[in-house]
Amino acid sequence: MKLNIVAATLVASLSLAACDQIATGRDLPPPPGPPAPPSPDLPMTAAKARLIMGNLSNSCRELATLKYDMHACELKQGNPASEEALRTELRDLRWNLDKLTADEASAQCAAQTNALRETPKPRACW
């Protein structure tokens, strides 16, 4: 019986302490950030690039595919291109896009895709 009273008193005092923290204007801890994007095994493929974009808009998945295609083009030309760097770039992109609203993320992806499409594609990559 005494244990129940002690437990109830402890719970009540902790609850009041939490209310007191809010009432005194102390800063609450920030909400957790977005979850970490997936990190598929290497070597990268177009499907894995899209997987990193997850449930973002089609324009973001299209951007990931285009970035993979550009990476593959570099490899076809014999230029050094890091699979790990591509994966990291896409993960960083996803992390930043997750902080935006869906409309903002989609618009940003569309703008980046349009800018990349203006880059001429070397003949070896056709």
Which two structure tokens, joined as six digits, stand for 108?
Answer: 């940003």
Kindly tell me if the per-residue pLDDT of 66 is higher than 70: yes
Mean pLDDT score of the chain:
85
Smallest CA-to-CA distance from 99 within 47, 37, 14 is with 37
CB of 73 closer than 8 Å to CB of 122: yes
At position 117, the amino acid (one-letter code) is R
pTM confidence score: 0.73
Angle (CA) 73 74 77, round 5°: 90
Task: List pLDDT tens digits, range 3-52.
Answer: 555 445 555 555 555 554 455 667 778 777 777 888 899 999 999 999 99
